[in-house]
Structures are given as structure tokens and as C-alpha cells.
Amino acid sequence: MTEFQNFVIVVFPLGLQGKIWTTILRSQNISVIWESPDVHIVETLKQLHRQSRPLPNLLILDTRLRGLNPYALCRWCRHHCPEMKIVLVNGAQPQILPSEQQWARCQGAADLLPCFHRDSLISSAVTGLREILDLLGGVPLNQRALISTLLKLGFGPRLRSKPNSCSVKSKMALMSAQSTLAW
């Protein structure tokens, strides 16, 4: 049985973004808990501390959560649990401006990432996952497990009527994914 060495809490509304994060992290043998968006994360962290349980190595949360100011949470964590890293994800924004990223970092976030988009899922999953793995101490990327996971999620090449023929667009997407993973 494989031992989990890293523990991540993901806080996203129910939906595709949280499912993708949870699934790709688990593909890398990272222990993941997907918390509900109405969880009181500060209380959860305090309770873990009171029970002498390990805090997560990383917290990934959507910036659009209602009732939670992600920047205030970053400041609180920087003061109370500085060893835990926080990555914010704007689940609706395909690109993040450098000024937005700088603001998040000044507030105590390790980074602010954009959402995943279906058209560039493989490359954005690789980019986001590499960032997370670096934050977790340089954990090596298991490319085979990631591709397999993305294919199981239904983000690989779509088959046409003949079982072995893919569209040109699908072949190009798969070749692009392979070249992205090669660097």
C-alpha cells in the first residue's frame, strides 16, 4: 500500500474545477480532502491544531467562495500557520493579471492561478500541477498517471465512428499534451 506524504485540502463549490483539482492531485498520490464551500476553514484548521492532527501542507481554494474573503484567510494563515501554503484559484477567470498575482502573494498566498478551460485542459493541468508539486517540496510529476487520469475524466481525444480513428484536432491535442509534458 502506498503511503501519502502530502495532505491537501481543496475548497471549491461543487463543479468541474474542484473535481479536476481533486482528481489530478490524487493521480500524484497526494492525499486530498475536498471540503464544501460552506466549511469554516479557519475553524477546521483550529480544530486540527487542537486535536494535535497535522495541518494540510497546502490549501487550494476558489476565490469566489461566498462568505469567505480569501485574502483575509491568507493573512490569518500567514500569522497562525505559516508552514501551510495557500494557492488561490479564480474559478471563473482564464487568465490572471500579474498585478492580481502580486496582490495575492502580498496577502500571503503562494500563488493565484486561473481556472481550467476545456480547450487547454491538459496544458493548464500540467502547469497548475507542477506549481503545486513544487510547493510541496519538488515532488516529481507522474506524467503517465496524469494523462491516464485526464483520459478517464473524458478530456482525451474523442473517437469517431471507427474505433481507431481520431479527428485531426484530437490528434493535435494529444501531441500537444505529450510535448507539454516533455518539458
| Percent of the chain surpassing pLDDT 70 | 82
Largest CA distance in the chain: 59
Q: Does residue 88 register a pLDDT over 80?
A: yes
DSSP 8-state class, residue 89: E
Q: Quick one: pLDDT at residue 4? A: 53
3-state helix, strand, coil in the chain (%, to 5): 45, 15, 40
Q: In sequence order, which ranges of the chain are alpha helices (DSSP H)?
A: 16-27, 41-50, 70-80, 98-106, 121-135, 143-152, 168-182
Give dist(CA 28, CA 18) in Å, integer. Answer: 16
Q: State mean pLDDT over 66-73.
A: 91
Give dist(CA 4, CA 55) in Å, integer. Answer: 14
Q: State mean pLDDT over 32-38.
A: 90
Full-model pTM: 0.81
For 124-163, the pLDDT digits (tens) are 899 999 999 999 999 999 999 998 998 888 766 554 434 4
Q: Does residue 1 register a pLDDT over 50?
A: no
